[in-house]
């Protein structure tokens, strides 16, 4: 891609135009997203859970992969911002009848859509759309292939900041199927950008990406060693749908070695947070007593997902509108 991720995502004034990846975004901007999300937390506690920031704007949810939690929280976030929301049923859409992705999106743009929330199995698909198809429509990446899931990472960062107050000095362990996890890649980038002391990856070799140290993380193969002196534990599910071949002897063996139980949790610092981006597979990556225990903040992550998605949607729309008004937008590229 001729543009860097940063250039594509930001306006000339450094505002969000699209939210595609954590890669390329600096600490100040990530902190601004967290601060904005913090300001939206109380909206969910009101009797009438609405603010008018996106009134009159149209948000289209484009999920080319199954999703429950992410899609529903994006829909709730858009509605709490007072936007009109269209959920496109991909199974019955024109793309299933042979129409190209570009043509489908251009037709949606012609209906005066202002924002696309997009999940796609192909890494880089939201970048392609933002760069080459509809650059004047705000694009929010809801997960692309094995690449990134930036809003999930930011809701995780908000949850950590709420409980730990600061990122400085923290040791964070990410456990499980890192190789196939777009969430993990976004988490590692966000944690390092926000200044944690150390990011650890705990997994067998078959579930680690190529050259994991290059991502900015330290690798461990044993839970006893990897969890020692850790302040935050983020568990990942096994991404069977993205695995090619048998990478594990069995789920029971994985649970024995890498499942988070009360006994293994004791290796971490007292009061260490237990997190999981969901969906949870109890008895595969985490014990029910831990998932429901006093150190778990998993349900808080879900609540924070709405506030974070409200933040990135409102910030991206604001950046798009300011760019159009200043006349610096690029318009619609030829396809």
**Lowest mean pLDDT across 14-18, 315-319, 323-327:** 323-327
Are 19 and 128 members of one domain? Answer: yes
Structural domain contains residue 56: yes
Confirm whether residue 69 is marked as ligand binding.
yes
For 111-158, the DSSP string reads: TT--EEEEEESSTTHHHHIIIII-TTSEEEEEEETTTB-HHHHHHHHH
Confirm whether residue 109 is marked as ligand binding.
no
pLDDT digits (tens, 9 = 90+) for 156-190: 999 999 999 999 999 999 999 999 899 999 999 99
Confirm whether residue 146 is marked as ligand binding.
no
Are 169 and 244 members of one domain? Answer: yes
pLDDT at 97 (0 to 100): 53
- Residue 273: strand, helix, or coil: strand
Are 115 and 217 members of one domain? Answer: no
pLDDT digits (tens, 9 = 90+) for 142-163: 999 989 999 999 999 999 999 9
Are 35 and 115 members of one domain? Answer: yes
Confirm whether residue 278 is marked as ligand binding.
yes
Confirm whether residue 131 is marked as ligand binding.
no
Are 176 and 312 members of one domain? Answer: no
Structural domain contains residue 247: yes
Determine the structural domain holding residue 83 and report its residue range: 5-148+304-326
Asked whether the predicted pLDDT for residue 330 surpasses 60, the reply is no
Are 251 and 205 members of one domain? Answer: yes
Are 130 and 156 members of one domain? Answer: no
Structural domain contains residue 221: yes
pLDDT at 316 (0 to 100): 96
Confirm whether residue 97 is marked as ligand binding.
yes
% pLDDT > 90, the chain: 75
Question: Span 243-272, mean pLDDT?
Answer: 85
Are 19 and 37 members of one domain? Answer: yes
pLDDT digits (tens, 9 = 90+) for 283-305: 999 999 999 999 999 999 999 99
Are 187 and 49 members of one domain? Answer: no
Asked whether the predicted pLDDT for residue 84 surpasses 90, the reply is yes
How far apart (Å, rounded) are the C-alpha atoms in residues 121 and 207?
19
Residue 280 DSSP one-character state: -
Instruction: Select from 33, 99, 131 the least CA-distant residue to 331.
Output: 131
Q: How many domains does the chain have?
A: 2
Structural domain contains residue 115: yes
Are 196 and 278 members of one domain? Answer: yes
Question: Span 315-324, mean pLDDT?
Answer: 89
pLDDT at 91 (0 to 100): 60
How many CB atoms within 10 Å of residue 173? 27
Give me the CATH number covering residue 114: 3.40.50.1370
Structural domain contains residue 331: no
Entry pTM = 0.91
What backbone torsions phi and psi does residue 151 show, to the nearest 5 degrees?
-70, -30
For 192-230, the DSSP string reads: HHHT-SEEEEE--GGGS-SSGGGGT-EEES-HHHHTTT-
Q: How confident is the model at residue 335 (pLDDT cuts 50, 70, 90)?
A: very low
Confirm whether residue 279 is marked as ligand binding.
yes
């Amino acid at each position: 891609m001729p543009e860097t991720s940063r250039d594509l995502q930001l306006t000339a004034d450094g505002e969000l135009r699209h939210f595609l990846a954590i890669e390329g975004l600096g600490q100040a901007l990530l902190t601004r997203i967290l601060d904005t999300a913090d300001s939206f937390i109380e909206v969910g506690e009101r009797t009438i859970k609405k603010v008018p920031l996106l009134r009159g704007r149209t948000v289209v949810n484009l999920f080319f992969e199954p999703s429950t939690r992410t899609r529903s929280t994006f829909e709730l976030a858009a509605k709490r911002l007072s936007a009109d929301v269209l959920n496109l049923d991909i199974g019955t859409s024109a793309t299933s009848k042979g129409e190209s992705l570009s043509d489908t999106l251009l037709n949606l743009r012609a209906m005066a859509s202002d924002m696309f929330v997009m999940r796609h199995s192909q890494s880089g698909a939201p970048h392609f759309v933002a760069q080459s198809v509809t650059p004047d429509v705000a694009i929010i990446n809801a997960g692309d292939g094995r690449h990134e899931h930036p809003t999930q990472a930011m809701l995780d960062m908000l949850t950590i900041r709420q409980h730990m107050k600061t990122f400085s000095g923290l040791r964070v362990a990410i456990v499980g199927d890192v190789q196939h996890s777009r969430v993990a890649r976004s988490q590692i980038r966000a944690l390092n950008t926000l200044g944690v002391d150390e990011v650890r990856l705990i997994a067998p070799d078959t579930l680690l990406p190529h050259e994991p140290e290059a991502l900015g993380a330290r690798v461990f193969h044993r839970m006893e060693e990897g969890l020692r002196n850790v302040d935050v534990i983020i568990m990942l599910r096994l991404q069977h749908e993205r695995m090619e071949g048998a990478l594990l002897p069995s789920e029971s063996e994985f649970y024995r070695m890498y499942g988070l139980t009360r006994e293994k949790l004791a290796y971490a610092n007292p009061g260490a947070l237990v997190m999981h981006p969901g969906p949870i597979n109890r008895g595969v990556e985490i014990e029910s007593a831990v998932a429901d225990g006093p150190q778990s903040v998993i349900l808080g992550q879900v609540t924070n997902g709405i506030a974070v998605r409200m933040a990135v949607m409102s910030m991206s729309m604001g950046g798009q509108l300011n760019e159009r008004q200043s006349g610096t937008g690029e318009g619609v590229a030829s396809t």
